[in-house]
Structure 1
Amino acid sequence: MMRDASVLETSAQHIPVLRLMGLQRVFHQGTRDINVLAGASVDVWAGQCVALVGPSGSGKSTLLHIAGLLETPDQGNVIVAGRDCATLDDHARTLIRRAEMGFIYQFHQLLPEFSALENVAIPQMIHGRSRRDAEVRAQKLLSSMGLSERLDHRPAQLSGGEQQRTAICRALANRPRLILADEPTGNLDPKTSELVFHELIGLFRSEGVAALIATHNLELARRMDRVVVLDGGLLVEIHPQSV
């Protein structure tokens, strides 16, 4: 029997979009073991922007790769929208990434031979949306980021900030529940970084996604909803203003 849509929605509100439980990850260098993650745990809820901070080399990228189902932890669980992904095969993990997640990197990774509009439309078409519908969604997202006059420009014709804003739109194109971002403004000058960050957070909140954002920029981290510090392989939540 099908459940009422309102019941499903209410139930989903009580389940974190991302739950990381007791993650452990050890790297071996010769005879030396490096415990990058030693029981890291965190919940990320819909509509929240969570900053992930920590010293260089503390394992932030590793944590994001595991959360994004790109790596497998030695121990622990990754639960996405209530589904435990620990025992899934590669194909099932790929489907979850495609349906539930969007990724933003320090470098935009746009397809150089396609326009901004096409870069945002193509992931939707791969996901099964018609070209027309994909382009309508792409235009809406790009316009919301101030790029309505740049739709037909290829990445080489865009500034660094415009390229990164296009990449943010691409990450949101398929309406993911979860965004994972690794230093999304780290390759930008301070003024452009501030502008892109402001637009990024605004768009995330308007879309209602959960976001886990690794950043070295503590000023930006203070303006997120929550801050978790990765140190010694564990995640500790602190008040944003204490960063």
Structure 2
Amino acid sequence: MGKSDQAPALHLDRLERAYAQGSRLIEVLKGATASLYPGEAVALLGPSGAGKSTLLHIAGLLERPDGGAVVIDGVDCVKLGDAERTRMRRSEIGFVYQFHHLLPEFSALENVVLPQLILGLPRREAEERATQLLQALGLGERAEHRPAQLSGGEQQRVAIARGVANGPRLLLADEPTGNLDPHTAERVFEQLLSLVRQSGVAALVATHNLDLAARMDRVLRLMDGILVEEQVTVVRVSQAQ
């Protein structure tokens, strides 16, 4: 089934956002428009300060735009009240950040269980789901370890499991491998992509890593406040002569 046969998991329609800086008005988004479809990973590129984090915050219902629509599962979330936006955020959206933000006093398993309990799932069901996710990410034997006992890559994989624990339609990731060494970043990225494919979630991944961006399904670049789809090709120079 092609994209044209599916409803988008997320549609951003002509988003506008500006901030006052002293007497100046800084326009960050000037009509940004894009759609994300189930099961695809889309890279979000742009220089620092271009507004990538603002776009993710608006898409994740953490911030309201000055204009435009954020449509998730057919619902324009800009028009919702705060309580409904919170409910939508908990049930339909997962987040992964550059820094894992795991709760240090809880085990890896408990960190993945907690968002499910908040959503109202029974503990046994939440623990089964958390166990399956951690196993899928190669962390089955680390489930009872606390974050301080895990490597940086392991911590980020727990954060990814937590991000998809509630079966969201949309996963928003802000530099999810930016704090990792290249080898670890590669492994975490591959497992993130695999999870996107298997779960059918739509993922929007902000990154500065052109190599990783080129391996996603599509690339969107935030330029002058709008989103432009582009091709990214990474040329590797062979060491053998």
Displaced runs of 4+ in structure 1, greater than 3 A? none
> How far, CA to CA, are the matches of 1:16 and 1:73 in structure 2?
20
**Paired residue for 1:71?**
63
Q: What SS does the corresponding residue of 2:57 show, helix, strand or coil?
A: helix
Residues 225 and 240, structure 1, Cα contact 8 Å, conserved in 2: no
The alignment status of 1:84 with 2:76, answered yes or no, reads: yes
The alignment status of 1:95 with 2:87, answered yes or no, reads: yes
How far the C-alpha of 1:131 sits from its partner, in A, is: 1.1
The residue identity in structure 2 corresponding to 1:220 is: L
Q: What SS does the corresponding residue of 1:86 show, helix, strand or coil?
A: helix
Q: Which runs of 5+ in 1 are unaligned?
A: 1-11
Counting only pairs closer than 5 Å after superposition, residues 20-169 of structure 1 correspond to structure 2 as 20-169=12-161
TM-align CA RMSD:
1.3
> How far, CA to CA, are the matches of 2:127 and 2:51 in structure 1?
37
Query: Cα deviation per residue 1:95-121 (whole Å; 9 max; x = unaligned)?
Result: 100110100000001010000011001
Moved more, 125-134 or 164-173: 125-134
With structure 2 as the length reference, what TM-score do the two structures score? 0.94
> How far, CA to CA, are the matches of 2:59 and 2:5 in structure 1?
20
**Paired residue for 2:188?**
196
> How far, CA to CA, are the matches of 1:118 and 1:98 in structure 2?
17
Counting only pairs closer than 5 Å after superposition, residues 185-224 of structure 1 correspond to structure 2 as 185-224=177-216
> How far, CA to CA, are the matches of 2:229 and 2:104 in structure 1?
39
Over the matched positions of the two proteins, sequence identity in percent amounts to 62
**Paired residue for 2:7?**
15
Query: Cα deviation per residue 1:95-154 (whole Å; 9 max; x = unaligned)?
Result: 100110100000001010000011001111111111111111111100111101101000
Shift of the 200–99 alpha-carbon distance from structure 1 to 2, 3 Å rule, reads same
Query: Cα deviation per residue 1:47-73 (whole Å; 9 max; x = unaligned)?
Result: 110000001100000000000011111
Q: 2:172 aligns with which of 180, 191, 198?
A: 180
Moved more, 219-228 or 24-33: 24-33
Residues 211 and 234, structure 2, Cα contact 8 Å, conserved in 1: no
Aligned residues: 232
Residues 224 and 240, structure 1, Cα contact 8 Å, conserved in 2: no
**Paired residue for 1:228?**
220
Q: Which runs of 5+ in 2 are unaligned?
A: 236-241
The residue identity in structure 2 corresponding to 1:206 is: Q
How far the C-alpha of 1:33 sits from its partner, in A, is: 1.3
> How far, CA to CA, are the matches of 1:128 and 1:32 in structure 2?
45
Residues 160 and 188, structure 1, Cα contact 8 Å, conserved in 2: yes
Residues 16 and 32, structure 2, Cα contact 8 Å, conserved in 1: yes
How far the C-alpha of 1:13 sits from its partner, in A, is: 5.5
With structure 1 as the length reference, what TM-score do the two structures score? 0.93
> How far, CA to CA, are the matches of 2:156 and 2:46 in structure 1?
23
